[in-house]
Amino acid sequence: MLDNSPSIKTAAVPPRKNLSAGLMVLAVASSIIASTCCVLPLVLVLVGITGAWMVNLTSLRPITPFFTAMAIGTLLWAGVLVFRPSPACTTGEGPACETARPITKVIYLACAIFIGLLLLFPLIAPYFY
């Protein structure tokens, strides 16, 4: 007798590489928003765009701690995913992992340095003005 009952499908878990890349993008975006009060006006002035409307960019200052916490949290979560040994790499996919993992680690470290600079910029911005 054939079993025609619907099988139970498990939820698809996204690959760790895609999840860590998404977390890195979220961390960079939230750190840019967290430092909008200081970085964006400086960048706009350096490009040549000025005006009194730039004073309105400081209205995002009350939500800066939320986006700073989000940037640090997602960066730490992505770090756990990037630096934790992958189960696929331990089961025999050695050559594929040896080329993919170092590239992901370099991208993560570049994002971490960029995020660190963005989050520290409000502290050093008064020295540039």
Tell me the pTM.
0.64
Place of tokens 């995913």: 81
Nearest in space to 38 (alpha carbons), one of 118, 115, 111 = 118
pLDDT tens digits for 54-72?
A: 777 777 778 888 888 888 9
What share of the chain has pLDDT > 90, as a percent? 2
CA distance 97 to 36: 37
Q: Give the start-to-end residue ranges of the domains of the chain.
A: 23-127
Q: Residue 20's pLDDT band (boundaries 50, 70, 90)? A: confident
CB contact set of 129 (below 8 Å; sequence gap of 6+): 42
Place 103 in a pLDDT band, splitting at 50, 70 and 90: confident
Q: What is the DSSP letter of 94?
A: H
Measured between its terminal Cα atoms, the distance across the chain in Å is: 80
pLDDT higher than threshold 60 for residue 83: yes
**5 has a pLDDT exceeding 70:** no
